[in-house]
Amino acid sequence: MSPLAANAGRDRLRIAIQKSGRLADPARSLLAACGLSWRESRDRLFCYGESLPIDLLLVRDDDIPGLIADGVCDLGVVGRNELDEQAAERRRNGLAPAYRELRGLGFGRCRLMLAVPEHWEWRDAAQLESLRIATSYPALVNEWLQAQSVAASVVELSGSVEIAPKLGTADLICDLVSSGATLVANQLKPVETLLDSEAVLAGPVREPDDARAPLAAMLLRRLDGVLKLKDSKVLMFRANAEQVPGLLRLLPDAEPPSRLTAGVEAVNGAGAMQAAAESGLLSLQALCHGAVTWQLLEELERAGAQGLMVLSVERSLV
Ligand code: PRP
Ligand code: ZN
């Protein structure tokens, strides 16, 4: 069977990711952090999963929703902007939803925004009546216009949307904004947000009922572990029991600390354990989601924490 042959009864999971572009490297790093590794083919379009029966297909990001809809791929990492645009297009054509967003992945953040020439005075959407909006997201823009009860025309462009007002082919634009530099360079200003976007993991509306289902479930569980632990640290310290609530209030998004028992013994030896018990100090560890800065450590010390230590977290099943 060729690696890309039909979908029915496959026992390997196939994930589509962007071949090159903004989402390509972070998508691969994220999947690698979930324990996946691949053997690359010479054409670099198909990567055979070595550590698990999970293969990668490297494609253009606008092909990803269709590949999921057609069952060629089981999952895809794609911008929400692309996924939602194609979903809106399906709605417009009276087609049933074919894919859904499973997880926001926290990278590739941007916004789909309406932007107008800098000198315009912006009040509200009613101003757009009879104007021309250049965009690569015609379905989303049309749905938004309908929701605002505004009749404007949508000029579909596949790229270089920002120069349309200067060229006179449109009055304003609707495009992705990340840093905002492209808008500034084209004397445009953002006025309305249609969509907050980021990279997402997308899958079919109906899950497969073969060996791919447990594989997908395992991958999602690992992904949740990775996403949850992103920027997380374990903070170890000693403190009196009565100081713990105050210390916890200082911690960024902390999960309640657990008392170390055997851990202390193994690391510091029984003597340290004995000393801690005699001094009435608890040995604690807290999982913190957020930055644990030097300043924070100093504040914790002033609030009674001793022997502070910050550790990285590599992986976890929680
Ligand atoms: C996107 C978008 C804008 C630009 C916005 O284009 O279409 O042009 O990025 O980014 P900024 O706010 O940081 O300036 P991209 O570079 O992805 O190319 P494309 O439009 O050709 O897809
Ligand atoms: Zn662009």
Given a cut of 90, whether residue 276 has pLDDT beyond it is no
Q: How far, in Å, from the CA of 91 to the mean position of ligand 1?
A: 26
Structural contact between residues 316 and 279, judged by C-beta atoms closer than 8 angstroms: no
Relative to the CA of 179, which ligand 1 atom is closest? 13
Model confidence at 298, pLDDT cuts 50, 70, 90, reads very high
Nearest CA to ligand 1 atom 19: 159
Model confidence at 217, pLDDT cuts 50, 70, 90, reads very high
Structure confidence at residue 74 (pLDDT): 97
Q: How far, in Å, from the CA of 145 to the mean position of ligand 1?
A: 22
Which of 182, 183, 195 is the best mutation target for the ligand 1 pocket, counting ligand atoms within 8 Å of the beta carbon and taking the most?
182
Find the ligand nearest to 190 CA: 1
How do residues 102-143 score in pLDDT, each as one tens digit?
A: 999 999 999 999 999 999 999 999 999 999 999 999 999 999
Rounded mean pLDDT of 267-288? 68
Q: How far, in Å, from the CA of 203 to the mean position of ligand 2?
A: 26
d(CA 195, CA 109) in angstroms, rounded, equals 11
> HEC string of 96-145?
CCCEEEEEECCCCCEEEEEEEECCCCCCCHHHHCCCEEEECCHHHHHHHH
Find the ligand nearest to 179 CA: 1
- What is the total residue count of the chain? 318
Q: How far, in Å, from the CA of 184 to the mean position of ligand 1?
A: 12
How do residues 46-103 score in pLDDT, each as one tens digit?
A: 999 999 999 999 999 999 999 999 999 999 999 999 999 999 999 999 999 999 999 9
Dihedral of the CA atoms 59, 65, 71, 73 (nearest 10)?
A: 40
Given a cut of 50, whether residue 264 has pLDDT beyond it is no
d(CA 164, CA 166) in angstroms, rounded, equals 5
Find the ligand nearest to 110 CA: 1
Which of 62, 109, 177, 195 is the best mutation target for the ligand 1 pocket, counting ligand atoms within 8 Å of the beta carbon and taking the most?
177
Structure confidence at residue 116 (pLDDT): 98
Q: What is the DSSP track for 240-300?
A: EGGGHHHHHHHSTTEEEEEE-SHHHHHHH-HHHHHHHHHHTEEEEEEEEES---HHHHHHH
State the amino acid at position 159 in one-letter form: G
Rounded mean pLDDT of 163-188? 97
How do residues 279-291 score in pLDDT, each as one tens digit?
A: 678 888 888 888 8
Give the SS3 label for residue 162. Answer: helix
Count of beta carbons in the 10 Å neighbourhood of residue 101:
14
Q: How far, in Å, from the CA of 59 to the mean position of ligand 2?
A: 19
C-alpha distances out from residue 29 to 17, 38, 73, Å? 11, 12, 19
167: Cβ contacts below 8 Å, ≥ 6 apart: none
Relative to the CA of 182, which ligand 1 atom is closest? 14
Structure confidence at residue 267 (pLDDT): 43
Find the ligand nearest to 177 CA: 1
Structure confidence at residue 275 (pLDDT): 59
Report phi then psi at 130, rounded to 5: 70, 5
Give the SS3 label for residue 41. Answer: coil
253: Cβ contacts below 8 Å, ≥ 6 apart: 288, 289, 290
Model confidence at 274, pLDDT cuts 50, 70, 90, reads low
Protein residues with CB under 6 Å of any ligand 1 atom: 159, 162, 175-182
Q: How far, in Å, from the CA of 160 to the mean position of ligand 1?
A: 9
* Token pair listed for 291: 């930055």
What's the number of CA atoms in the CB half-sphere (13 Å) around residue 116?
Answer: 14
Structural contact between residues 237 and 309, judged by C-beta atoms closer than 8 angstroms: yes
Q: How far, in Å, from the CA of 26 to the mean position of ligand 1?
A: 17
